[in-house]
Structure formats: structure tokens, C-alpha cells
Amino acid sequence: MRYTRLGKTDESVPLIGFGTWRLGGGWWSEDRSQDERAIEAIVLAVKKGCWLIDTAEAYGGGHTEELVGSALRRLRSEGDYEVFVATKVAPEHLHYDDVIRSCEASLKRLGLKQVDLYQVHWPNERIDIAETMSAFERLIEEGKTRYIGVSNFSAKQVEEAQSSLRKYELVSDQVSYSFFDRKPEAELLPYCRKNNLTLIAYSPLGRGIVNSSSDKRLAKIDELATKYNKTRAQILLNWLVSRGGVVAIPKAADPKHIEENASAADFEMTEGEYTLISRL
């Protein structure tokens, strides 16, 4: 696994982490039918080097955080594994007191006293971002989170959030970004690079369409996969995290896919090949 610096901090995080959307249910919707499989997936991801685990209070109505907590307890019982835990507050909970309550509830479900990264899940235009950021600063000061970030924010919204902070700085913006979804390249990615923010890419494989898409551009990707003896998904993940300032958080429950994702950053293509993919 290769690593990158988180924002302007001295913190190193793996280029490929692990997303937990749909493990334990949907948006505020709980599903306990695959709990053991989900816990095993999180544990395996950490053991394979994808130890940035991203979750949210809305995933499974909080149950996904409970699954992450169970995985963390299992990992602690088996050895000394490094884990960086990120979670998110839902957009309906962005008033000051709601943020504090949400974070405390997330910590309880995760079984932690402090989360590594606390993020605004989605912007909410009905709530002043300054109020939300004030609560985020309190969470840092009380030791309930080490770092703060946002998710699904435009460059302008990130700027507004950052300008509302008195003492601390945002370290990341988590957005949908993949070979199939290049929207961040227009404005957000250049902004993040200029301001030393980490772009955390969710759905980095196009929400699972990587192996089923009939996109003709994938013929070139398949040629590179053959050359490097890698899968199509590994080539595309490698390209994504080699762009600079980007961390990918693919979700997988299948052990084979988790292992493939974990080794996707363990090789380098030529500059010409990275450019070729970017131009497809």
C-alpha cells in the first residue's frame, strides 16, 4: 500500500481505504441479515492495508457504525492494527446542538472516545454553515474528533465552510469521483490541490459498473490490465489515486474484491499511460 498526507496535516493515510455504504442497510434503513459478512469484510480490509474506514450515522440508521465498532473490537482482540475511522453527520443534523449529539451518538456506536475524521455528509442550505462549523470546532477542542472535513461540497461551498472556521482547517472533501464520473476534475480537484485538501473519492469504480459497462473506452483499460497482469478495476483505481491528492474508498464485501482493491496501489504505470487514461 502507498500513502498520502491528509490535507495540510502530518497524518499519513492509505491511498485506498474502505467505504461502508450499504453494509448494514441503506439511508436510515437497517438490515442485519449480513452482519457477520460485513464485519469480516471490514476486518479483512484493515488487515490488507485499507485501514481508512469511512462510515456515516445515516448508513443503516447507525447500524453500519455499530458494525464498524464490532470490527474494531475484533481487530483489537487479534493484534495491534492501525485504523483511521471517518464518519459523517447527516444534513438534517447540522444545527449546533444536533451536531454535538450526533457525534456523541456515533462515538458510542463505534465504541470510540475519539473519531479520526468527522465530516458533514451533505450541505444543507437551510442551516448556516457557520453554525455547523462552530460545532465542529468544539468537537476538536473536546477531543471528540482529530480532524474535520466535508462531503459532497462544491469548491464554493468548501470555501464558505473554511471561511467560517476560526481556529482549525478542513482536511478533506469526499465526493463521487471515478473514471466514469469526472465532474470533480472541472473545478473541485484543482481547488483541493491548490488548497492542500484531500479529495476522498467514493464510488471510485462507478458504483459497480466497472465490470459490466459496455463503454468502448474500456478496451484500452483492458490492454493495460493484460500488460500489468491486473484487473480492470485495479487499473482504474491505480489511475485514480495516482492523480495526486486523491484517496479512494471502494466498498466490497467479497474477500477477492477486497484483496484486489488493496493491491491496486502497489504498482505504477508510465506517465504516458496515466495520461492516456485521463484523455479517454
Local confidence pLDDT in tens for the 280 residues of the chain: 899 999 999 999 999 999 999 999 999 999 999 999 999 999 999 999 999 999 999 999 999 999 999 999 999 999 899 999 999 999 999 999 999 999 999 999 999 999 999 999 999 999 999 999 999 999 999 999 999 999 999 999 999 999 999 999 999 999 999 999 999 999 999 999 999 999 999 999 987 677 766 778 899 999 999 999 999 999 999 999 999 999 999 999 999 999 999 999 999 999 999 999 999 9
C-alpha cell at 49: 492495508
Strands (E), the chain: 3-5, 12-14, 18-19, 25-26, 29-30, 52-54, 84-89, 115-120, 145-151, 170-176, 198-202, 246-248
Which cell is 280 given?
479517454
The predicted pLDDT at position 168 comes to: 98
What pLDDT shows up at residue 210? 78
Q: Give Dmax (Cα) for the chain.
A: 54
**Cα–Cα nearest to 245, from 202, 206, 207, 189:** 189
Q: Which residues contact 110 (CB under 8 A, 6 or more apart)?
A: 55, 65, 66, 68, 69, 72, 85, 87
Residue 31 near residue 38 (C-beta atoms within 8 A): no
Domains and CATH numbers, the chain: 3-209+239-267 (3.20.20.100)
What are the E-state strand segments in 145-245?
145-151, 170-176, 198-202
Q: Can you give the pLDDT at residue 128?
A: 98
From the list 68, 145, 141, the residue with the least C-alpha distance to 102 is 145
- Give the length of the chain: 280
Q: How far is CA 73 from CA 42, 76, 132, 136, 152, in A?
A: 11, 5, 31, 26, 30
Residues 6+ apart with CB under 8 A from 31: 24, 25, 60, 63
